[in-house]
Structure 1
Amino acid sequence: MTTFEETKKLLEHSTFYYIIVTNMEGKYSYVSNSYKESFGRIHGPIEGQSYEITMHPDDTKVCEEVSVKCFNNPDKVFPATIRKHDGKGGYVFTQWEYKAMFDENNQPSGIFCLGFDITDYMSYHDQLKDVQSLLDQKEKVLKEIAHTQSHVIRRPLANIMGLSMILAKMEIDQNLKNVCDMIIESSRQLDNVIKATADKTYN
C-alpha cells in the first residue's frame, strides 16, 4: 500500500496522468484531481460510484478481464485501452496500467490504475492508416499503369517499328524512306521512355 500512496501523492495534481482506485465491489474508492476534472463534470461526484459509469459499455469486459489477470499475477501490471464518455456523445480514448492491490492481511482490496488520454494519438494513428491505405491504392494503380505500358502499349509500338522497317527495305523513293527512318527512330525513343517509366514504377 505504501507504494500506491506514494504514487498518488506524487501524481495527485498531474495534468497528464489519471489515477483511480476501485474496490472489490467495482466502485471508485479514489480518483485523482485530473480524473475528477475530466470526468466529474460529466458524471458528478465519482467516488463511490461503479467504475462502469465513465466508460463505453463494451469496454467493461476489458476491465474485468484485465482485473482477473492482475489478481492472478499480483507482481505484474497489465495494459488496457478504455473509451471514456466525453460528455458530447463521443468518447475519449485512454490508456491504462492496472495493478492488483492487497490489504495488510494480503487479501485482495482493489485495483490501482494509472492512465492518460491518447485521443490525439488515436486520431493521428487513424489518419496515418488512411494515408497508408491511399498510398497503397495509388501504388496499385501505378503498377497497373506500368503493366499496361510494358505489355499493352509496347506491343502495338513494336508492330509499328517492325512494319516501318519492312517498308524501309522495299523499293520506295528516298522521301518515303526518310519518313520510315524517322518513324523507326521516334518509335525507339518512345519505347525507351515507356520502358524507363515502367522500370521506375516497379522499383
Structure 2
Amino acid sequence: MTGTQIFEAVKTLLGHSVTYYLIAVDMNSNYVYINKHYADIFKPVHGDLVGRHYAITMHPDDQETCEIVSQMAFKHPDSMFPATIRKYDGRGGFIITRWEYKAMFDDNGAPAGIYCIGHDITELMKITGELQQVKISHSHSVRRHVANLMGLGKLIQGSTEINDMQDAAKMIVQSATDLDEVIKELYK
C-alpha cells in the first residue's frame, strides 16, 4: 500500500473527527487536504487553507520544527514523527497542537507530500504549567521546615547548655508542627 493509499484510509477514519486534526501538504508545502475539525478551528482565522502554504497557521519559530520533522519522515518512510506546533488562535494567542508526521509517496515511490494527525494540547499544557508551579511552591514550603529541623538538630549537637537544648527542642516541635500543617494542606 502506498503512502497515498494509507492516507486515503486515514481520511476515511478521521475526516469527520471532532477530536483529531488531519492535514496533508504537497511537496510545495501547500495544504492539499484539511479535515472538518481543522477547517472548523482554523478556517475562521485564516480563510480557506487548501492551496495555501502551511506556515500561514503557525508561529514562525515552529516552521523549522516542521521542516526538520518532515525531513525525518522522508528519510524513514515507515515511521511517524512527533512535533508540537503553536497555531494562531485569531485572538492574539496560540493553540498548542501535537502532531504525528508521515511521509507520502506516489505509486512510483516518489515523494508526494506529508500528512499529519494532530490534536489540541493547549489545556494540557496550561494544567501542566500550573502543576509545575504548585510543585515548586509545595517543595519550597516543605523544604523550609526540613531545613529548620536540620539546623536545630545541628545546634543541639554542638550545644552543652541544657537551656539551649530546651529552646531548640521547643523550636523543633514548632517546626514539626508547621511541617505537619503543610503536609495536611498538600493532601487537601
TM-score by length of 2: 0.84
Do residues 104 (structure 1) and 107 (structure 2) align? yes
Instruction: Kindly name which structure, 1 or 2, has the bigger radius of gyration based on alpha carbons.
Output: 1
| Whole-Å separation in 1 of the counterparts to 2:80 and 2:131 | 29
Q: Please state if 1:94 is matched with 2:97.
A: yes
Q: What secondary structure sits across from 1:98 in the alignment? A: strand
Query: Which protein has greater RCO, CA pairs closer than 8 Å, 6+ apart?
Result: 2
Q: Deviation of residue 138 (structure 1)?
A: 1.6
1:70 aligns with 2:48: no
The residue number in structure 1 matching 2:8 is 5
Aligned partners of 1:24 and 1:192: how far apart in 2? 74
- How many Å separate the matches in 1 of 2:83 and 2:132? 22
The aligned counterpart of 1:34 is 37
8 Å contact kept, 1:157–1:191 = no
Q: In the TM superposition, what is the alpha-carbon distance from 1:140 to its structure 2 partner?
A: 2.5
Shift of 1:57: 0.5
What is the one-letter code of the residue matched to 2:143? Answer: K
One of 129, 152, 155 as aligned partner of 2:132? 129
Contact 2:80 2:100 in 1 (8 A): yes
Q: Deviations over 1:121-176 (max 9, x none)?
A: 10111011111111221232112211332234x479851449xxxxxxxxxxxxxx
| Backbone CA RMSD of aligned residues | 2.6
Change (3 A) 1:48 1:158: same
Question: Which residue matches 2:52?
Answer: 49
Q: What's the CA shift for 1:104?
A: 1.0
Distance 2:172 2:145 in 1: 13
CA contact (8 A) 2:25 2:114 kept: yes
Counterpart among 142, 145, 155 of residue 145 in structure 2:
142
Q: Is the 8 A contact 2:22 2:35 kept in 1?
A: yes
Segments of 5+ residues of structure 1 without an aligned counterpart are: 163-183
Mapped to 1, the partners of 2:24 and 2:13 lie a distance apart of: 15
1:87 Cα deviation after fit: 0.6
Structure 2 gaps of 5+ residues are 180-188
Distance 2:50 2:132 in 1: 38
1:83 aligns to 2:86 (yes or no)? yes
**Counterpart secondary structure, 1:104:** coil
TM-score, normalization by structure 1 = 0.78
* Residue 194 (structure 1) shift: 2.7
Q: State whether residues 17 and 116 of structure 1, in contact with CA within 8 Å, keep that contact through their aligned partners in structure 2.
A: yes
Which residue number corresponds to residue 161 of structure 2? Answer: 159
Query: Which deviates further from its counterpart, 70-79 or 128-137?
Result: 128-137
- SS state of the match for residue 106, structure 1? coil
